[in-house]
Amino acid sequence: MKQSAEGAAVGTLKSAATRPARAGMDRLLYWRWYPGTFHLLFFAGLVVLIYFAFNPVRRAEGNLATEVVWKLWWPGLPFILLLGGRIWCGICPFGAAADFAARLGSKSAAPSLLRSWGPWMGALSVFFFGLAFLALGLEENPGATGVILIAMILLAFGMTVLYKGRTFCRYLCPVGMITRVYSFFSWLQPVGGGVRYKAVSCPAGQSPQSLRQPSQCQMCGACTLPDVSGIRTTFGVSGGRLPGVREFGRPEAFLSLLLLGLMAADSVRMTPLFARYQQFALPYFDYNYRLSVIGGVSALVGAVLAVQLLGSWLVWRQSRDSRAFAGMAFSYLPLSLGVFLALALQHLRYGLWPSLETVMAESRLFGWDGHMPPDNVYFTSIPLKSVQFVILGIGLYLSWRLTRSGLGGESSRGGIASRRFMVLAAAAGFGYLFLIPMSGAC
């Protein structure tokens, strides 16, 4: 008995001695209370937002739910993603609902149909999420916002009750899909850690030992237990990490082009071009605003997809690159991320303080009677637009660099030239939209 106790003590000392020292983001990931503490705080906050979505206090012009979700969190998401990768997926309240459901007992694996078509369904969820955001005016629609939040909680919980792992987060969550494809350009990158102490079941279906698909890692904390050497993180941006064939296939390429089209639609929405479109389109949609928005966004996204399919076919003819479509779509990602950042910066520049005032008023933190933002405010801010063009230029530079690779090897000169022409055309279109005065009320 004594010898066994001594052996256990020696084993514990050896384990402590060989355990790697944590630094930077790894300290957070291997913190004893990660991600439980964040799950509790954010889920409680989500419950409060859902309550106020249907029961507004009305001490301010805005609603607490819409102000926090769409005017503070959503514009801040691309900056969180740029600096911290998919760290939001690790602390997300919907992920908290999934993790809680996972504790209720053993479940079956996701059916092969879901595993095969899940990425395509996730791409479509992003498209419908974008349609809802633009057509329903979620920024000013607390009821629809509350319904979406409740639906995502129920889906995350229900799908994890049925199947193992974070099935909803992995396949159907629109935010998870967006962060997944943009995480290739994050400053923070997860890498395999070896898992030297015991086997760990990854909710995202990955192997923490090798982490073959880093973009799938949700930093959920399952493999960062005190006695497990799971994933670790590294910092640095090298102009975009080229993914493997399995990591960036046709569904991810399709999603990349959908995001490009949705970013174009959101950019047009903030300019006087949107009002001109409505004057033209409303009579054809029986003056139904939402249908006209759905028709316009769908047409714009469809045009983007059609043009890129044509461009991919031209690249394939010149280079015979079997991954011409995926390579073209991946080249657009940094450009669309740059547009996402530029638009988010505009929202934060002109909406951060009013949104904080609304939050403080609705939370009764101080006696303030609210505000009424002026209508149809189209402005030109040279400092803001200068920063936006710098961000757009960085995105164009990274996209230009990525045109050299087809994700399966080097492309021919003709294929590179075709890709660069398509990227320059898309950047020129966004540059034109950024030159037009934009609205601060969108």
Give per-residue pLDDT as tens, 248-270: 988 999 999 999 999 999 999 88
| Distance from the first to the final alpha carbon of the chain | 72
Helix (H, G, I), strand (E, B) or coil at 256: helix
Please enumerate, as own/partner, the contacts of 14-22 that have beta carbons within 8 Å and a separation of 24 or more.
Answer: 15/197, 15/227, 18/196, 19/229, 20/229, 20/232
Which one-letter DSSP state was computed for residue 188?
E
- Read off the pLDDT band of 94 (50, 70, 90): very high
> Has residue 108 got a pLDDT over 90?
no
Helix (H, G, I), strand (E, B) or coil at 190: strand
Question: For residue 12, which phi and psi values (nearest 5 degrees)?
Answer: -65, -45
Amino acid at 369: D
24: tokens are: 């930077």
**pLDDT value of position 173:** 95
> Has residue 431 got a pLDDT over 50?
yes
**pLDDT value of position 1:** 39
Q: What is the mean pLDDT of residues 276-286?
A: 90
**Beta-carbon-side half-sphere exposure of residue 149 (alpha carbons within 13 Å):** 27
Q: What is the mean pLDDT of residues 412-436?
A: 87
* CA angle at 202 for the pair 199 and 208, rounded to the nearest 5°: 65
Q: How far apart are CA 229 and CA 232, in angstroms?
A: 8
> Has residue 377 got a pLDDT over 80?
no
Q: Specify whether the CB–CB gap between 268 and 300 falls below 8 A.
A: yes
Q: What is the mean pLDDT of residues 131-137?
A: 90
Task: Quote the distance between the C-alpha of residue 327 and its chain's center.
Answer: 20
Amino acid at 129: F
Which stretch of 23-32, 189-198, 199-208, 303-312 has the lowest confidence by average pLDDT?
Answer: 189-198
Which stretch of 119-133, 186-200, 244-258, 413-427 has the lowest confidence by average pLDDT?
Answer: 186-200
Q: How far apart are CA 128 and CA 173, in angstroms?
A: 11
Helix (H, G, I), strand (E, B) or coil at 103: coil
52 vs 442, more confident: 52
14: tokens are: 């050896």
**pLDDT value of position 6:** 38
Give per-residue pLDDT as tens, 388-403: 999 999 999 989 888 8
The stretches of 246-381 forming alpha helices (DSSP H) are 250-269, 272-281, 289-319, 324-362
Neighbours of 325 (CB within 10 A): 23
Q: How far apart are CA 105 and CA 108, in angstroms?
A: 10
Give percent of the chain with pLDDT exceeding 70: 83
> Has residue 9 got a pLDDT over 50?
no
- Read off the pLDDT band of 197 (50, 70, 90): low
Question: For residue 134, which phi and psi values (nearest 5 degrees)?
Answer: -85, -45
* CA angle at 81 for the pair 429 and 165, rounded to the nearest 5°: 120
Q: How far apart are CA 351 and CA 334, in angstroms?
A: 25
**pLDDT value of position 169:** 93
> Has residue 323 got a pLDDT over 50?
yes
Q: State if pTM tops 0.85.
A: yes
Task: Quote the distance between the C-alpha of residue 421 and its chain's center.
Answer: 27
Handedness of CA 248, 107, 172, 344 (dihedral sign): negative
Helix (H, G, I), strand (E, B) or coil at 121: helix
**pLDDT value of position 339:** 95
Helix (H, G, I), strand (E, B) or coil at 21: coil
**pLDDT value of position 328:** 84
Question: For residue 270, which phi and psi values (nearest 5 degrees)?
Answer: -95, 10
